[in-house]
Amino acid sequence: MLCLSGIFSFLFNLFISLFFVSLFCRLIGRSTFPFFIHKVPIAKGSAFWIPVIQVIASFNFLLAIVMAVNFLKYKKSHWWLSCYVWAVWLEGPLGFGLLMSCRIAQAFQLYYVFVKRRLPPIRSHMFLPLILLPWVAGAAVIHEKKPLNYRCHFGTYWTIPVVCLHSLYVAVLMGFTRAIRHIEFRFHELRDLWQGILGSASVIGVWVFAYILNEIHDDISWLQVASRFMLLLTASILVLVFFSISIAQPLLSQISLRKREPLELKTMGQVLGIPESGLLLQREQAVDIDPNEPLDKLLLNKRFRQSFMAFADSCLAGESVHFFDEVHELGKIPIDDPVRRIYMARHIINKYIIAGAAMEVNISHRIRQEILATTDLTHPDLFTNALHELTQLMKMNLAKDYWSSMYFIKFKEEARMRSCEHEMEEMRGYDFSPRLSSVNATDDPFHQDHFSRGFTQHSHASYLR
């Protein structure tokens, strides 16, 4: 009997270990899939490190549950194997608390950007530690008082404030979610927040239920195992489904683990459904480019802008042209569509304006701060001053070299070929005219018939007169 019990315990521990490892591997795979398969550029700032922190917090949370509820039998011979390390610090401030704090930080950003229509007054790397302070303070108090028993369980006196702390963060997340519920998001941000709230509340409920079962029916081994396994399973679903990918990255929300084909939506304009975003019309009529015209007027031509952008990229100075292109796409969104304008404006700010951005443009500090401190992200002149500065820089640096480059020669040759093709299409258009216009009268019997009838009627009219 003891031998069977030992075998069962070994197999159960092996199953839990494999389950935990496979779950964490899937979590890592789901978070890194867009970057390795579709070669999505890695974002900077909170759009990058908040998902990374969520993955680390998910690992800490699941590992703390496995260790704290005695899924794995081990001797607590070292301080780092203590219940206060796993059940207090790793499960609280570095696990569930960190997960909820990341989600609250994202909801806080969505509230300010889409409801207030401005950037948050405090950056995420400062806001996240502030909302995590109650967890750190609570863990420090518990570590000092040492209320845990030999099974790493709290007494009834400590269980109530611990559950209240967990519920408080769920309530704060619910408050921010209710404040943005009227916004018509395009990438399911609101749905993801409500799912996170539901999952978090479910974990708290299962944790309380498992605690009660383990405290009241501590003599029923199978009940303890079942309740602990249910707690681990619920927590695993929570972190895998709701916390593995950041809701602050709309481009990544278009990518699925099941889609192995090349990514078709490459720009934010295409994702937002801006008309003709990134497309060149094949039948577009060629336009003569005069180098003496203002550069900002020339850049309005899509084909010229693409040629000029390729030249700038070859000179490792394409940020300004890319910025002009995306601001031009922003101008296509109607003023009465504030949600899409906010998506595009925030994308431009994160990509070109903030310090250390992936394609930070060279503009003055005054204009940069004007954009970052704007009170209306939907304003049509939000990037006008920045465009004026960058156009002057491109005119002095890039434009002079472009007119003598192979890119401009190639552009003129392609324009000439398109012009010839357009003329040939117009010539071919005459082939579809009626037969009377393309056949000689002497060869057309129908024309002779019409002519004879006309001649007879004309002669009869003359005779009457």
Whether residue 336 lies inside any domain: the answer is: yes
In this prediction, residue 341 carries a pLDDT of 94
In this prediction, residue 6 carries a pLDDT of 54
Residue of 274 and 384 predicted with greater confidence: 384
- In tens, the pLDDT along 34-83 reads 555 545 555 566 667 787 788 788 888 877 877 766 655 555 555 556 77
User: 111-120, 217-226, 247-256: lowest mean pLDDT where?
Assistant: 247-256
Question: Predicted confidence band at 326 (pLDDT cuts at 50, 70, 90)?
Answer: very high
Do 167 and 240 lie in one domain? The reply is yes
- Angle, helix 189-216 to helix 156-179, in steps of 10 degrees: 170
Query: Long-range contacts for 264-268 (Cβ within 8 Å, ≥24 apart)?
Result: 267/326, 267/329, 268/326, 268/329, 268/343, 268/344, 268/347
DSSP string for residues in 365-420:
HHHHHHHHT-S-TT-TTTTHHHHHHHHHHHHHHTHHHHTTSHHHHHHHHHHHHHHH
Do 225 and 115 lie in one domain? The reply is yes
In this prediction, residue 33 carries a pLDDT of 54
In this prediction, residue 414 carries a pLDDT of 86
Question: Predicted confidence band at 270 (pLDDT cuts at 50, 70, 90)?
Answer: confident
Whether residue 450 lies inside any domain: the answer is: no
Do 13 and 131 lie in one domain? The reply is yes
Do 234 and 296 lie in one domain? The reply is no
Residue of 189 and 349 predicted with greater confidence: 349
DSSP letter, residue 197: H
Write the CATH number for 206. Answer: 1.20.1070
Rounded Cα–Cα distance for residues 162 and 168 (Å): 10
User: Cβ contacts of residue 128 below 8 Å, gap of 6+?
Assistant: 50, 53, 101, 102, 105
Rounded Cα–Cα distance for residues 109 and 118 (Å): 9
- In tens, the pLDDT along 406-428 reads 999 999 888 888 777 766 766 66
Q: Which of 150-164, 175-189, 358-372, 431-445 is the most confident on average?
A: 358-372
Q: How far is CA 231 from the centre of its chain?
A: 31
In this prediction, residue 455 carries a pLDDT of 41
Looking at the predicted structure, is the pLDDT value of residue 352 above 90? yes
Do 419 and 292 lie in one domain? The reply is yes
Write the CATH number for 312. Answer: 1.10.167.10
- Token pair belonging to 155: 């007494």
Whether residue 430 lies inside any domain: the answer is: no
For 161-183, what is the mean pLDDT? Answer: 91
| Percent over 70 (pLDDT), the chain | 65
Looking at the predicted structure, is the pLDDT value of residue 240 above 70? no
Which has the closest alpha carbon to 352: 332, 368, 331, 373? 368
In this prediction, residue 56 carries a pLDDT of 84
Which has the closest alpha carbon to 242: 432, 66, 8, 27? 27
Do 253 and 295 lie in one domain? The reply is no
| Percent over 90 (pLDDT), the chain | 32
Mean pLDDT of the chain: 76
Do 118 and 49 lie in one domain? The reply is yes
Looking at the predicted structure, is the pLDDT value of residue 215 above 70? no
Is residue 352 a contact partner of residue 361, using CB atoms and an 8 Å limit?
yes
For 271-284, what is the mean pLDDT? Answer: 65
Q: How far is CA 75 from CA 72, 275, 297, in A?
A: 10, 64, 75
- Token pair belonging to 266: 């490459």
Number of domains in the chain: 2
Q: How far is CA 273 from CA 186, 334, 340, 348, in A?
A: 11, 12, 9, 16
Q: How far is CA 446 from CA 434, 439, 453, in A?
A: 13, 11, 11
User: Cβ contacts of residue 261 below 8 Å, gap of 6+?
Assistant: none
Question: Predicted confidence band at 338 (pLDDT cuts at 50, 70, 90)?
Answer: very high
Residue of 203 and 392 predicted with greater confidence: 392
In this prediction, residue 432 carries a pLDDT of 47
Whether residue 315 lies inside any domain: the answer is: yes
Task: Give the pTM.
Answer: 0.75
Looking at the predicted structure, is the pLDDT value of residue 132 above 50? yes
Do 238 and 347 lie in one domain? The reply is no
User: 113-122, 164-173, 187-196, 288-297: lowest mean pLDDT where?
Assistant: 187-196
Question: Predicted confidence band at 1 (pLDDT cuts at 50, 70, 90)?
Answer: very low
Q: How far is CA 119 from CA 126, 356, 374, 378, 453, in A?
A: 14, 17, 8, 12, 82
Do 236 and 314 lie in one domain? The reply is no
Buried b (16+ CB within 10 A) or exposed e, 46-76: bbebbbebbbebbbbbbbbbbbbbebeeeee
Residue of 189 and 237 predicted with greater confidence: 189
Do 227 and 307 lie in one domain? The reply is no
- Give the residue numbers spanning the domain of 23: 8-36+44-259
* CA-based torsion, 437, 441, 445, 451: positive or negative: positive
In this prediction, residue 216 carries a pLDDT of 63
Helix (H) or strand (E) holding 36: helix 2-36
Do 317 and 205 lie in one domain? The reply is no
- Token pair belonging to 313: 């990229």
Whether residue 282 lies inside any domain: the answer is: no
Looking at the predicted structure, is the pLDDT value of residue 254 above 50? no
- Token pair belonging to 174: 């619910």
For 269-296, what is the mean pLDDT? Answer: 72
Do 295 and 209 lie in one domain? The reply is no
For 225-238, what is the mean pLDDT? Answer: 72
